[in-house]
Structure 1
Amino acid sequence: MRTLFPFAAIVGQDQMTLALTIAAVDPGIGGVLVFGDRGTGKSTAVRALAAVLPEIEAADCPYHCDPARPDEACETCRGPKRGRKQKRTGTIRVTVPVVDLPLGATEDRIAGSLDLERALSAGEKRFEPGLLAKAHRGFLYIDEINLLEDHLVDLLLDVAASGENVVEREGLSVRHPARFVLIGSGNPEEGELRPQLLDRFGLSVEVKTPQDLKTRIEVVKRRDAFERDPAGFTARYETDTSAIREAILRARRRLDHVAVPDETLEKAAQLSIRLGTDGLRGEITLMRAARAFAALKGDGAVVWAHLAALAPLALSHRLRRDPLDEAGSATRVERAVGELAAA
């Protein structure tokens, strides 16, 4: 198996690694969009995330259902008829999947289709799960997501909204759980993302090429050391990798106990109003992300400092275009944060 660059060794992209870590603490935040310059470690960071994710308990079924949520179980766990009491399929410990969705993937490859080999050899109709099934309870990564074909975007939007994949073709009628954290990356110079899909991402990060000389040198040195000796380089960061994994586990355990005071919610709403964001999804996401951030830091309540740190990630991609303001969206959010803090 190919050795991946360690997540703990990534340098110079703190906002990106923070957003991915927060999504690992609270997958319900809604995924992460990483847009920016080529060669800045976007794909490297996402694929490295798998090594720091704690294992999960799963049903011993094709979709690794969550034993704690029988209402979302697949037909294997429920039995032949939907609504029946969940069967005991046994539980196992599995690694959290991080699945790549290639741009050239067909709808059958993504959603699943008839197992042709089984149909031809045994005359039996059996469902062959696709990438959505493999990504259930994990992460689905799409590089160059802004180049994804429209009909595949529609499919992802439907599944992301319902948490369930429905396949009805070739005499098959199958539905299975498909809840995943969507991670997208791309270069904005190659095209914009459809607004419907953009709004589905909880956090957005604008990645730029580091301009600090020491940082650039360190990035080159670490990459060179990894390519010369992948196993040895990865071993040097094993302690740091374990520390990140333990931090995610502790934050997950603390998450439900982190308080969100009314005055903090009021600040989040004021910030969204000041920025003119559409709907309430922005401040809901900001609140959840700030709570996950507080859990990571070991704090018992969400305060203004947590909101201020996460506001550019949660709100920058939800702003309307302002032709009179040439500043980037992240800059506009930071400016609004400063104005609200001074008010």
Structure 2
Amino acid sequence: MTQPFPFAAIVGQEAMKQAMVLTAVDPGIGGVLVFGDRGTGKSTAVRALAALLPPITAVEGCPVNSARPDDCPDWAHVTSRKLVSRPTPVIDLPLGVTEDRVVGALDIERALTRGEKAFEPGLLARANRGYLYIDEVNLLEDHIVDLLLDVAQSGENVVEREGLSIRHAARFVLVGSGNPEEGELRPQLLDRFGLSVEVASPRDIDTRVEVIKRRDAYENDREAFLKKWLKGDAALRKAILAARVALPGLKTPNTVLHDCAALCIALGSDGLRGELTLLRTARALAAFEGAAVVGRAHLRAVAAMALSHRLRRDPLDEAGSGARVARVLAEVLP
């Protein structure tokens, strides 16, 4: 298996990298949507994230990466109670994928050769406790979008077909990327992403030259390049693990809760998901930075990525959603 490009070696795109790191600190944030031009490192960052993430502990032989033997589904017939370390799963969901491939289906081979009804797990089973990555997410077929919405809401995959009645845990961080020029994302799925960031091609020559140099070094002498950036990825991984430990003990003053509500009211975001996501993201950032208390600075730093995709469209306002968030931030949280 080819070792992916190191996460620490990615040039620029700080908002995208920060969003992905924060979802690694707290997967409950709810995923990342990355929209931008082709060739801006969206897919590279997701592949790099797989190598960066700390491993998980799972039951040996469990197809859904269960953390405890008692959590293994009955249909899997897992007999081992041994816990093993596995890389955090990062599973690709390709365009044109069938529903059976996503949710799982009857194992035809066992049905024909042994006459047994057995379940063959799908991509959602493999993605449990990990990441599900969808490139060109805005081009995903509607029936797959509906399926993902149901599973993302319940955290459970339910398959009722061909005489099978199967359930298993399916909790994953959804990461989507796409080009907005090729189509918009359905609002229902858009709202399921905790964070959204926009990426663009760098405009200065020095940055573009550095991108070319690093990619060229990776292609020509991969072993030496990976060795050079090994410490950078290891330091990031250590910081993520430390932030996970610190997160439960973080203090959140009532003033921060007030700021979350005031900002979302001023922006006119629908529902309360915006406040909840903003707070979780600010807490993850505070933990990652080693702070003991969540402050207004943390809210300001993550407000655009947590709220920009939740705004209602204003036909009289030509500014983009990110600019609107920045403008309201200056007014509400000076």
- What range describes the TM-score normalised by the shorter chain of this pair? over 0.9
State whether structure 2 residue 293 is matched by structure 1 residue 292.
Answer: no
List structure 1 runs of 4+ shifted beyond 2 angstroms.
73-80, 87-90
State whether structure 2 residue 271 is matched by structure 1 residue 279.
Answer: yes
Supply the distance in 2 between the matched residues of 1:198 and 1:27 (Cα, whole angstroms). 17
Q: Which residue of 2 aligns with 1:7?
A: 7
| 8 Å Cα contact 1:33/1:204 also seen in 2 | yes
Between the aligned residues of both structures, percent identity stands at 63
- Write the letter of the residue equivalent to 2:74: T
Supply the distance in 2 between the matched residues of 1:76 and 1:125 (Cα, whole angstroms). 14
Task: Please report the TM-score for the alignment, with normalisation by the length of structure 1.
Answer: 0.94
Q: Which residue of 2 aligns with 1:186?
A: 178
State how 1:169-318 maps to structure 2 within 5 Å. 169-318=161-310
CA deviation after TM superposition for structure 1 residue 154, in Å: 0.4
CA deviation after TM superposition for structure 1 residue 57, in Å: 1.5
Deviations 1:278-326 (A, max 9, x none): 1110011000000000000000011000000000000000001011111
Q: Which residue of 2 aligns with 1:135?
A: 127
Q: Which residue of 1 aligns with 2:65?
A: 64
Supply the distance in 2 between the matched residues of 1:331 and 1:67 (Cα, whole angstroms). 46
Supply the distance in 2 between the matched residues of 1:44 and 1:67 (Cα, whole angstroms). 32
Task: Please report the TM-score for the alignment, with normalisation by the length of structure 2.
Answer: 0.96
Q: Which residue of 2 aligns with 1:36?
A: 36
Unaligned runs of 5+ in 1: 81-86
Supply the distance in 2 between the matched residues of 1:251 and 1:16 (Cα, whole angstroms). 19
RMSD: 1.6
Q: Which residue of 1 aligns with 2:311?
A: 319
| 8 Å Cα contact 1:77/1:89 also seen in 2 | no
The match for 2:74 among 73, 76, 100 is 76
- Write the letter of the residue equivalent to 2:14: D
CA deviation after TM superposition for structure 1 residue 78, in Å: 10
Q: Which residue of 2 aligns with 1:163?
A: 155
| 8 Å Cα contact 2:242/2:288 also seen in 1 | yes
- Write the letter of the residue equivalent to 2:9: A
Deviations 1:46-85 (A, max 9, x none): 11101111111112222111239x6xx24239989xxxxx
Supply the distance in 2 between the matched residues of 1:329 and 1:300 (Cα, whole angstroms). 31
Q: Which residue of 1 aligns with 2:90?
A: 98
Q: Give the aligned length.
A: 333
- Write the letter of the residue equivalent to 1:278: D
Deviations 1:108-151 (A, max 9, x none): 11110111111112211111100000000000000000000000
1:299 counterpart SS class:
coil
Deviations 1:168-191 (A, max 9, x none): 112211111100000000000000
Deviates more, 1:304-313 or 1:110-119: 110-119
- Write the letter of the residue equivalent to 1:151: H
